[in-house]
A and B are shown apart, each in its own frame.
Chain A
Amino acid sequence: MAFCVLRTSFYNSNRRDTKILPVSYVGNPRCTPMPKVRILFRIFAISFSLQVLSGFFICSARADDGFIRSEIHKLTSENTATRKDAVIALAKTGDMRVEAILQSYKLSELYVWNEAVVLCKEIIEDEDFNEFCRVADVLTGEPILDAGGEPHEIPVEELEEISPSRAERKLANSAKFLLRLSSPDRDIRMSGAKKCGDPPGIIASVRQLREMSENDPVKKIRYIAKESLLLIRLNQTSVASDPHAHLEVARELGNMKSMRGRPQLQKLFDALMKTPNGAKPVYDDARKTYKFSIDQIDGYQGFVGGVGNIFRGLSLGSVLILMALGLAITFGLMGVINMAHGELMMIGAYATFEVQRLFGHSPDNPSDLYYIAALPAAFLTAAFVGYLIEVSVVRYLYRRPLESLLATWGIGLILIQLVRIRYGDNIGVNAPTWARGGVEIVQDLVLPYSRCFIIVLCGMCVLLIYYLMNYTKLGLRMRATMQNRNMARSVGVNTQRVDRYTFAFGAGIAGVAGCAWTLIGSVTPDMGQTNFIIDSFLVVVTGGVGELIGVICAGLGIGVLTKVVEPTQIGSFVVGAIWAKILLLVVIVAFIQFKPAGLFAPKGRLSDI
């Protein structure tokens, strides 16, 4: 035992939260591994030292560099308590540069050189295997220059490492969240507010959390701060010592329908269930309160889960519809079993990638307009490829479904390998910034923007096709050709050209689907075969070949059915993704047995074969 510090303190800003506790602090900071008991002691001591200093927590004060530097210097102290105090003091500055410093401290990237703390991220070696370090300023991260204006390279032997113990690393981590409470950035502040309340809770954050729960401009953060506050209080109090306050907190968490509170309440409830009934009247009270709150939360979460499942079903359904729309035209209307349909979607996705590259869009340097340009680009590229396929192969194979199946499958393979040779297998399409994240429409129900966008896009595509088919001359000619080719020809329709345009249009819609897919899925050369082709045919065949309304009904039906079945729990068995897929296929096979023509009977060329 190296040394032992005894400290006591009052934390008087909120009497209900804390009590006066003597804490013995034991352990040599540099000796690892430590026995478990010691670690426990340390963790206890840390949470306490946080508590000690929280009394003078000043919100959003921006400390000057001199103060930060002097606190950083204290990290080199031999005294563990001094080091810990320094970490807390750094966190309290609310200066966002400190987060990087704490991170470097955690990763042992800080060194002492010439009695100053420096940052060293890179070790270089000369021909004689001597190791040198390019040191940088700990606060600014700028390289320290020598007399000649070159980056200073210091032999590694001259540097003394600052290596925090595991407990100190954890403290630095907690301090990071404390620091985040002062961030001007909404998301960072929110993550800080959340983590400060997660068990065991950072008691030092209580005052600031309270302030945030009342005054923060963002409603969600006010909610989270209040939730965290209650969680800390729930951990601090107990039924035995202060039943009134404790149960009040439990009730409040229930009223807030707090999802984060639920596991805590459940734990407390389970613990109480082990005590015999009627042992203490207050225990029975507590049991009831916990149970009531848990039920309250579960009821709300059940409702949110149900709505969420419906949304997920709609989202999956719209993706399926989008995939199948193009096929509904090439297969449904024209009767070509187009196995290259998936590859046309893949081409749409790669066209999106090309447009992204053209616009120079990257996560660091976003230019969100690229996506607007990518939609028509994907349509045109895929339509062009579709046009070529029709001209070169498909037009010889009308009314010969088996041959068209084989030929288009071969074309698909050729397209896959061409793309693989050109792009390799690994390319990433970066979603535009507006498609990241989601909107929380009610508490705990987040609808991702990308999925909302795809639902809208799907609706627009359906309307476009409906309009084109029913209200334009081209649509009229298409329908005429598909229904009775010879009659259409005899009244002067150039059926060959109509075929070409129809096929190209179907391919173009597939391209749009591929472009939309980049927002939510992965882009690989064989994505068409692995992800799309089977699902697309499934939707078209189930819906009834040749009917737009059939595709919509089948797509939504399959989507919602899958997403409602997947999370279902029967006893201890959860259906899950694999069984949901199998069940779905069984249902469709059974359905096709009874209604071989699908939901809506086919019209168009297939019906008169």
Chain B
Amino acid sequence: MFRSKPKLRSIATISLLLMVVGMLGVTQANAGPHEVKIGVLHSLSGTMAISETSLKDVVLMAVEEINANGGVMGKQVKPVVVDPASDWDLFAEKAKDLIVKEKVAVVFGCWTSVSRKSVLPVFEENNSLLFYPVQYEGEEQSLNVFYTAATPNQQLVPAAEYMMEEIGAKKFYLLGTDYVFPRTANKVLKAYLKTKGVPDENIVEEYTPFHHQDYQTIVGKIKTFAAGGDACVLSTINGDSNVPFYKEFANQGLTSDDCPIMAFSVAEDELRAMDVPPLVGHLATWNYFQSINTPENKKFVKNFKAFCEQNNLPGGSDRVTDDPIEAAYFGVYVWKAAVEKAKSFDVDKVRAAVYGLEFDAPGGKKMMHASNQHTLKPVYVGEIKKNGQFKIVYKSDGLVSPDSYSKYLHPDGNFPAPTGGPKVAVLSSEE
């Protein structure tokens, strides 16, 4: 029944394919004397590719801009892009490759908290630097990481405050995907709401598995919960589950007037993948929106679209910018500014130079914290518009200082000491 010819042919084809793939894998150029290598550690395949690919794109764009303007301290920046394929073990392995084999000066990467936690020991062991561009649950402070996105007090708490003060919400439905960010985020939110006098029975907490697609029952529950007209949903639903959730919400006849949804993981890039009409009027809190109306930001958006189009990236000029994209972008510039201030690529000198650094980001002036590795940022609340963009309905007064450990989870003010850093040097100088 089986003929050997096609089999041979297919084996030949497969091996040819494998060879091509292998050749793609070894296109890592060596850094010359006028070059400095940086690592880009974002998933380009697997479940997280949906979000992380854009960050890789924008980091490469920043590198291109920097190189066109003479590089960093006269050296051209050479990005080494690797694909950890949404696999947490592979993240650690690839990070080690970048640091030990490629000897990169700095790494830009990670999205999920689990990937960050898995590379953390690698960076601390080798005393290398990671710029992490995504809002996360806090409760961490490593001297080997600079966190360029929001901590809970720069996103979650202002959002809950907005719902209470401006919308007048009294009941809160905390809905999330079942993993570390929503669980910790909801812990912070609950602690905060309780300090504001919201009774237990007015808070509901619920989780769904990853990729959950059937929100019929949950929306039914929300409908009953919100019948009094003073409830809201604080949503930490992640990724592709958002689409069926908002669709079901609208299809069962609920609107943003009945029960507004405040989302912490829905930004412009995610809205591209959604059927937007069911989301119109719902809210999101971030530290940056594409709709920020300044010349710097407009230029940034234009450049990003042009970059995607020129490089034939999927989406082309339809691509949008959002909070993590901005954070990934200015992360590269923060590193450049710190290197130039320190006049060295040495990790310890660069780290010292980052503290307290003021800089211009596309979304406006920002500043690195003087000691806790995070970034001072403004907080915006945006209302989703029909075109997939946000209308900014609230802006904080000035920059909000980051708390690496939430004061709501550590009411006594006892925070753990930062981890990592220059082990040997510190020990010898202290003794």
- A interacts with B: yes
Q: Quote the shortest CB–CB distance from B396 to chain A (angstroms).
A: 13
Give the contacts of A126-168 with B (CB-CB under 8 A).
166
Nearest residue (CB) in B for A392 is: B10
Q: A363-B276, A440-B253 are in contact. Are A578 and B178 (CB under 8 A)?
A: yes
Checking B168, B230, B272, B393 against A426 with a beta-carbon cut-off of 8 angstroms, the contacting residue is B272
Q: Quote the shortest CB–CB distance from B107 to chain A (angstroms).
A: 23
Chain A contact residue count (CB 8 A cutoff): 77
Quick check: B314 and A577 within 8 Å, CB to CB? no
The answer to the question of A194 belonging to the interface, with a C-beta cut-off of 8 Å to chain B, is yes
Checking B220, B275, B294 against A567 with a beta-carbon cut-off of 8 angstroms, the contacting residue is B220
Quick check: A450 and B217 within 8 Å, CB to CB? no
Quick check: A527 and B240 within 8 Å, CB to CB? yes
The answer to the question of A561 belonging to the interface, with a C-beta cut-off of 8 Å to chain B, is no
Quick check: B314 and A422 within 8 Å, CB to CB? yes
Quick check: B315 and A166 within 8 Å, CB to CB? no
Quick check: B7 and A396 within 8 Å, CB to CB? yes
In angstroms, Cα B244 to Cα A523, docked, is: 10
In angstroms, Cα B51 to Cα A319, docked, is: 27
The answer to the question of A289 belonging to the interface, with a C-beta cut-off of 8 Å to chain B, is no
Quick check: B227 and A428 within 8 Å, CB to CB? no
Checking B210, B211, B229, B253 against A260 with a beta-carbon cut-off of 8 angstroms, the contacting residue is B229
Q: A123-B293, A567-B221, A577-B207 are in contact. Are A522 and B241 (CB under 8 A)?
A: yes
Which residues of A sit under 8 angstroms from B275, Cβ to Cβ? 363, 428-431
The answer to the question of B258 belonging to the interface, with a C-beta cut-off of 8 Å to chain A, is yes
Nearest residue (CB) in B for A413 is: B45
In angstroms, Cα B392 to Cα A106, docked, is: 12
Nearest residue (CB) in B for A258 is: B227
Q: A449-B251, A567-B220 are in contact. Are A531 and B211 (CB under 8 A)?
A: yes
The answer to the question of B184 belonging to the interface, with a C-beta cut-off of 8 Å to chain A, is no
Which residues of B sit under 8 angstroms from A183, Cβ to Cβ? none
Quick check: A581 and B227 within 8 Å, CB to CB? no
Give the contacts of A106-135 with B (CB-CB under 8 A).
106-107, 121-125
Checking B51, B229, B242, B272 against A522 with a beta-carbon cut-off of 8 angstroms, the contacting residue is B242
Contact code string B207-236 (vs A, CB < 8 Å = 1, else 0): 111111110111011001001111000000
Nearest residue (CB) in B for A429 is: B275
Which residues of A sit under 8 angstroms from B294, Cβ to Cβ? 123, 125
Checking A124, A363, A450, A531 against B386 with a beta-carbon cut-off of 8 angstroms, the contacting residue is A363
Q: Could you say which of B51, B165, B240, B278 has the most chain A C-beta atoms within 10 Å of its C-beta?
A: B240
The answer to the question of B295 belonging to the interface, with a C-beta cut-off of 8 Å to chain A, is yes
Q: A421-B314, A577-B217 are in contact. Are A436 and B250 (CB under 8 A)?
A: yes
The answer to the question of A315 belonging to the interface, with a C-beta cut-off of 8 Å to chain B, is yes
The answer to the question of A368 belonging to the interface, with a C-beta cut-off of 8 Å to chain B, is no
The answer to the question of B269 belonging to the interface, with a C-beta cut-off of 8 Å to chain A, is yes
Nearest residue (CB) in B for A575 is: B217
In angstroms, Cα B46 to Cα A427, docked, is: 16
Which residues of A sit under 8 angstroms from B50, Cβ to Cβ? 425-426, 524
The answer to the question of A305 belonging to the interface, with a C-beta cut-off of 8 Å to chain B, is yes
Nearest residue (CB) in A for B231 is: A263
Which residues of B sit under 8 angstroms from A523, Cβ to Cβ? 243, 273
The answer to the question of B323 belonging to the interface, with a C-beta cut-off of 8 Å to chain A, is no
In angstroms, Cα B51 to Cα A420, docked, is: 12
The answer to the question of B49 belonging to the interface, with a C-beta cut-off of 8 Å to chain A, is yes
The answer to the question of A509 belonging to the interface, with a C-beta cut-off of 8 Å to chain B, is no
Q: A198-B229, A576-B206 are in contact. Are A563 and B216 (CB under 8 A)?
A: yes
Quick check: A522 and B252 within 8 Å, CB to CB? no
Which residues of B sit under 8 angstroms from A393, Cβ to Cβ? 10
Nearest residue (CB) in B for A526 is: B47
Contact code string A247-260 (vs B, CB < 8 Å = 1, else 0): 00000000000011
Q: A431-B247, A521-B243 are in contact. Are A423 and B314 (CB under 8 A)?
A: yes
Checking A301, A448, A522 against B251 with a beta-carbon cut-off of 8 angstroms, the contacting residue is A448
Quick check: A578 and B258 within 8 Å, CB to CB? no
Nearest residue (CB) in B for A263 is: B228
Quick check: B251 and A451 within 8 Å, CB to CB? yes
Which residues of B sit under 8 angstroms from A184, Cβ to Cβ? none
The answer to the question of A596 belonging to the interface, with a C-beta cut-off of 8 Å to chain B, is no
* Given A392-B10, A430-B276, A436-B251: 16 more A-B contacts, CB < 8 Å: A107-B392, A177-B257, A191-B255, A305-B220, A315-B216, A393-B10, A422-B314, A425-B314, A428-B273, A431-B275, A436-B250, A437-B253, A522-B241, A522-B273, A567-B221, A576-B207
Closest 8 CB pairs of A and B: A424-B314, A198-B229, A522-B243, A448-B251, A263-B228, A425-B50, A426-B273, A522-B240
A selection of 28 A-B contacts at a CB cut-off of 8 Å is A106-B393, A107-B391, A166-B165, A199-B228, A316-B214, A319-B214, A423-B314, A425-B314, A426-B50, A427-B272, A428-B274, A428-B275, A431-B247, A436-B277, A437-B250, A450-B247, A520-B247, A521-B243, A522-B213, A522-B243, A522-B273, A524-B273, A530-B47, A531-B213, A563-B217, A567-B221, A576-B206, A577-B209
Contact surface of B with A, Cβ cutoff 8 Å: 1-2, 6-7, 10, 45-47, 49-51, 53, 165-166, 168, 178, 206-214, 216-218, 220-221, 224, 227-230, 240-244, 247-248, 250-253, 255, 257-258, 269-278, 293-295, 313-315, 386, 391-393
